[in-house]
């Protein structure tokens, strides 16, 4: 993990003889930033049970990114989530 500045865990794969990967339309996603010393970002289901007060969440709605920090989250989670949002805006949204 120390060699990479940005690691993102996503569903999917690459196109091959056994798997056909087609371009899909955008599907909204909810990302959870979790961890005390080395926070990581995971995709979670978009339902109320997925959200807790101790983590930071990013709601990706394609044209807009929503950032929510729980009142019990720590500083490292908050900083990692802000870094992810900034990278998403620069790399994926070109804004």
Radius of gyration of the chain (CA): 15
DSSP 8-state assignment for residue 72: T
Distance CA 59, CA 4 (A): 23
pLDDT reading at 55 higher than 90:
yes
Nearest to 81 by CA among 27, 11, 30: 30
| 82, 90 contact by CB (below 8 A) | no
pLDDT tens sequence across 20-33: 666 668 889 999 99
Q: How far is CA 15 from CA 7, 43, 54, 73, in A?
A: 21, 22, 38, 38
Q: Is the pTM of this model over 0.85?
A: no
All domains of the chain in start order, with CATH? 29-92 (3.40.20.10)
């Amino acid at each position: 993990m120390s060699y990479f500045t940005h690691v993102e865990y996503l569903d999917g794969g690459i196109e091959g003889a056994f798997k056909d990967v087609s371009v899909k339309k955008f599907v909204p996603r909810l990302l959870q930033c979790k961890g005390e010393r080395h926070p990581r970002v995971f995709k979670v289901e978009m339902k109320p049970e997925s959200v807790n007060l101790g983590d930071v969440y990013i709601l990706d709605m394609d044209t807009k990114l929503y950032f929510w920090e729980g009142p019990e989250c720590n500083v490292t989670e908050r900083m990692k989530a802000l870094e992810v949002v900034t990278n998403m805006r620069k790399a994926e949204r070109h804004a």
